[in-house]
Amino acid sequence: HGIFVGRGDAVELSDLKNEFYQELPGIRDRIFEALVGHGYYARRPDQVRTTYWILAAIAGVATFLAGVLADKAGVDILGAPPLTIFVAGALSAAVVFAFGWVMPARTAAGAQALEGVLGFEEFLARVESDRIARVKKTPEMFEKFLPFAMALGVEQKWARAFEGICQKPPDWYRGSSLSDFRPRLFVDQLGGMSRSGRDVAQ
């Protein structure tokens, strides 16, 4: 929606330069909302992390101020000198901050979904192996699962499994001539397009 709205049916990357990045926060919000809505997380992971990072900042600042006041007053806190308080506060803040990265826990449904994704990734990466060589490979299969292979970072292995099977690019492809179609070269070209898209989104 953010790509084509107000721009017709065809859009060049140059049209999105310095504009499309404004759509990213909304896209990220919808992704997190979908994850929670499908029951994969009890709360939005970004909000959980932010909560812990705020607590880490509060703990660090509070301990620092306590150490400064104790140093000026020339007293110890709980029998510890100010320097020890500073170090303890920094370590406590670091621990809480680190916990913020790992605290967004998946629900049972989320863990099951992740297991399914990892299993599918293994299938895409090993489709050329002898164990699953019996799977009938067709151009339609290559095209259907290619987006998932690219999202999971196994597109080169997926393309290699279809060398000699796919003789022409998908019907939807419009680009440089591919008269001598090779799945791996095709994937390389798509990867270049993806990198250009990431540059535009920054």
pLDDT in tens, 2-50: 565 555 666 666 666 767 777 778 888 899 999 999 999 988 888 888 8
pTM above 0.85, yes or no: no
- Look-up: residue for tokens 């002898």? 130
CA atoms of 113 and 110, how far apart (whole Å): 5
Say what the pLDDT of residue 202 is: 61
What percent of the chain clears pLDDT 70, i.e. is strictly above it?
Answer: 75
Higher pLDDT pick, 16 / 125: 125
Name the residue with tokens 């999202």.
151
Instruction: Give the span between the Cα atoms of 10 and 70, in whole angstroms.
Output: 66
Query: Per-residue pLDDT for 147 more than 80?
Result: yes
Residue 161, CA atoms < 13 Å, CB-side half-sphere? 28
| Best CA proximity match to 39, nearest among 129, 107, 140, 99 | 107
Non-local CB neighbours of 71 within 8 Å, separated by 6+ positions:
82
Residue 78 is predicted with a pLDDT of 56
